[in-house]
A and B are shown apart, each in its own frame.
Chain A
Amino acid sequence: MMTTHNQDIVLRGTNLTRRWGGLVAVNGVNIELLKGQIHAVIGTNGAGKSTLINLLSGEIELSDGRVELLGKDVTNSAQHERARLGLGKSYQRNTIFNELTVFENCRLSAQANYQQPWKFWQDGTSCKLSTEQAMFVIQKTGLEHIMHRPSGVISHGQKRQLEVAMCLATNPQVLLLDEPLAGMGADETDRMLSFLMEIRKDHAILLVEHDMDAIFKVADVITVMVNGSVIAHGTAAEVKENKDVKVAYLGEEA
Chain B
Amino acid sequence: MDFFTFLIQTLNSVQYGLLLFLVAAGLTLIFGIMGVINLAHGSFYMIGAYLAYGLAPIVTGMFGGGFITTMLFGLVVSILLGYFLEWAFYSYLYQRDHLQQVLMTYGLILVFEEVRSILVGDDVHGVQMPDWLSGSIQLNDVMTYPTYRVFISGMCLLLAVGMYIVLTRTKLGMMIRAGSVNREMTQSLGINIQFLYRVVFASGVAIAAFAGMVAAPVSSVYPGMGQGILIICFVVVVIGGIGSIKGAFVAALLIGFVDTFGKVFLPQIAGVLVYILMAVILLWKPSGLFKAGS
Direct contact of A and B (CB under 8 A): no
